[in-house]
Amino acid sequence: MRIITGRCRGRKLRGPRGRELRPTSDRLRETLFDILGARVRNAVFVDAFAGTGSIGLEALSRGASEVVFIEPSPAAVRLLRQNLEICRLGEGYSILQHEIYPALHSLQRRDFKCDLFFLDPPYEWEEYGALVGGVFRSGSIHPDSLVIVEHHRKAPVPDDGLCYRRTRLVRQGDHCLSFYALTP
Residues 6+ apart with CB under 8 A from 122: 22, 49
Proportion of the chain in helix, strand, coil states, percent, rounded to 5: 30, 30, 40
**Distance between CA atoms of 132 and 167, rounded to whole angstroms?**
13
Q: pLDDT per residue over 3-38, tens digit each?
A: 888 887 778 888 876 555 566 777 898 999 999 999
**What pTM value is reported for the model?**
0.93
Q: Which CATH superfamily, name and number, covers 37-182?
A: Vaccinia Virus protein VP39 (3.40.50.150)
Q: What are the domain boundaries of the chain?
A: 37-182
Q: pLDDT per residue over 53-99, tens digit each?
A: 999 999 999 999 999 999 999 999 999 999 999 988 878 999 999 99
CA nearest 114: which of 164, 71, 75, 67?
67
